[in-house]
Structure 1
Amino acid sequence: MLRLFKITGDSLTPEFKEGDFVLVSKVPFLFIPPSPGDIIAFRQPGYGLLIKRIQQITPDNSLNVIGNHTESIDSRVFGP
């Protein structure tokens, strides 16, 4: 239910730096729904595993996610 991932890139610096390890639960939001500000890990076609912050939850329950840097690959690039 838990997996260890190594951070590559700097899109969530200073919270996570290149080379840091994060422990990710594979049972997301079982008891509490996601909310803006939460940090999530997900697979995005064409980009692989990404770790980003939820910026907004749309009316159709899609998640807009962002990194801390303007160069981050996130919903501004691939959509909700």
Structure 2
Amino acid sequence: STIFLDDSTVSQPNLKYTIKCVSLAIYYHIKNRDVDGRMVLDILDEKLHPLTKSEVPADYEKHDPEQKQIYRFVR
């Protein structure tokens, strides 16, 4: 069988559409998560495991990233 994403196939995927699909899947997982009332799992807590040297805002875990932000990060 063949999977079509617009005019591409699995053997020659269109990278832009593939990244958009992956970032959208990540976005929906974030929006529909259930973590016992908490917003962040400890393994993903940026205060415990920082990704950058800059200071993390106090309310960072209360705001979900937009799909566009996730796309830019994945890209």
User: TM-score scaled to structure 2, two decimals?
Assistant: 0.22
Q: Which structure shows the higher strand fraction? A: 1
User: TM-score scaled to structure 1, two decimals?
Assistant: 0.22
Q: Which structure shows the higher helix fraction? A: 2
Larger relative contact order (C-alpha < 8 A, sep ≥ 6)? 2
